Chain A
Amino acid sequence: DAGVIQSPRHEVTEMGQEVTLRCKPISGHDYLFWYRQTMMRGLELLIYFNNNVPIDDSGMPEDRFSAKMPNASFSTLKIQPSEPRDSAVYFCASSFPSGGPLVDEQFFGPGTRLTVL
């Protein structure tokens, strides 16, 4: 399996522009998580989905952020408009907790390093 795939790996944009980050979870995983990592705040959960349905979006910082999961193999995190303080590494992770006791391990993608100028 290729693991969790994220694109792009690096994104540099200007303040005010729309940014879309993409994630393909591991096939068969039914949970998908979006995290943001910064030096100041560490690793924060933004939102997670189960079977394509958002379960908890309490970590989404504000209305400029939105996330969708139109099908089991694809999710997007969109920032519109972007601001310099959104600069961070955004990780996507997936897990398959229905597989018995040794479950609930989250597999992380390589991340997207976002720089907003």
Chain B
Amino acid sequence: AQSVSQHNHHVILSEAASLELGCNYSYGGTVNLFWYVQYPGQHLQLLLKYFSGDPLVKGIKGFEAEFIKSKFSFNLRKPSVQWSDTAEYFCAVKPNTGTASKLTFGTGTRLQVTL
């Protein structure tokens, strides 16, 4: 079974600082990878996803993530965070089986951006 580790549980940054959130997964086969964001009091929304091709994936709101297969990693980055990026970020993985199967989520990283 697959698993996901997010090592940063709580990150505090000042506005304009650069962001990198770690995500490592464990699975022996091909995977699809996702980053979801949950703003305070809201539901999860997809930030970006990787299925195949270019390992550098660009998502909404200036976020990007890089899939490094050799490291089983899919870290999320943003060059300059804004106060509105304050949210919880979840990395998720699913086996690339060609059909739907359950997403396995990490425990989440709470990002707090200060003014």
Instruction: Name A residues whose Cβ lies closer than 8 Å to a Cβ of B.
Output: 31, 33, 42-43, 45, 48, 50, 56, 59, 91, 93, 95, 97, 101-111
Contact = CB atoms under 8 A, between A and B. Distances in A.
Given A48-B102, A97-B100, A43 B43 contact: no
Contacts, number: 48
A108 B103 contact: no
Nearest to B44: A108
Interface string B93-110: 010000111111111100
A111 B46 contact: no
B42 interface: yes
A108 B49 contact: no
A59 B32 CA distance: 21
A91 B32 CA distance: 21
Contacts of A48: 100, 102
Contacts of B51: 101-102, 104
Closest A-B pairs by Cβ, 6 of them: A97-B100, A108-B44, A42-B107, A43-B105, A31-B100, A108-B43
Nearest to A106: B103
**What is the predominant secondary structure among interface residues of chain A facing chain B?**
strand
Contact of B49 (A42, A105, A111): A105
Interface of B: 32, 34, 36, 42-46, 49, 51-52, 90, 94, 99-108
B114 to A, nearest CB: 22
A48 B36 CA distance: 19
Contact of B108 (A42, A105, A108): A42
Nearest to A94: B100
Contact of A42 (B34, B43, B94, B105): B105
